[in-house]
Amino acid sequence: MSQSSHFLNSAVFFKNLSSVYYEYKYDIIDLKYGFNPLSEGNALVPNEYRFGILKVGYNSANNQKFRYRFNLQKGSYYNGKRITAGAFVNYQLLPFASFEASYDFNEIDLNELGKETFHLARFTKEIFFNNRLNWTTYVQYNTQRNNFNINSRLQWEYKPLSYVYFVITDNFNKDIHRKDWGVAFKMNYRLDF
């Protein structure tokens, strides 16, 4: 076995169905090859690593048009420390549309191997033409890869659990110069035996 994860969690739910929660996660990783979690840092050497992180957070009620959640995490990470925070907001205009925005912050300090802070911001919109045809677009910026990405997908369920997807992806660097783009078409069909 090269990795095992153990966790303990609990939550308190309020009358309005919002909740506060915690989760403690403990990982044991037998790293077989060098690993570079920091884009520009030195690689971790193969070894057995044990580390844990505590996460606390709040979720608003899921049965509302406007929903939000946030969390904070702090703990060890390989041979260093890690602090993570995240926030999420969602507004549902069902049955027509859904809009959401999220932001994640990740600070990793691996002592002599380096220290980095990463940010991930994302906006997603979904338009529902009917219960079988929808259009989803997300715009995302990731500082770890210095990548600004736009992904747009049209999805049609032509039979139960059988889909046709048409996806356009565009990637830009932090100066908004195109790095690459792509178009994909995918079709799957459910077979019953």
Question: Residue 160's CB: how many other CB atoms inside 10 A?
Answer: 8
Higher pLDDT, 41 or 69: 69
Lowest-pLDDT range, 24-33, 34-43, 150-159?
Answer: 34-43
Best CA proximity match to 134, nearest among 112, 111, 152, 121:
152
Percent of the chain residues past pLDDT 70, beyond the cut: 99
Both tokens of 14, joined, read: 């309020």
pLDDT tens-digit map of 137-185: 999 999 887 889 999 999 999 999 899 999 999 999 878 888 899 999 9
Contact 94, 62 (CB under 8 A): no
- The reported pTM is 0.82
| pLDDT of 54 | 97
Contact 169, 149 (CB under 8 A): yes
Cα 49 from chain centre = 24
To the nearest whole number, what is the mean pLDDT of the chain?
A: 93
pLDDT band at 191; cut points 50, 70, 90: confident
Contact 23, 9 (CB under 8 A): yes
Both tokens of 28, joined, read: 């044991």
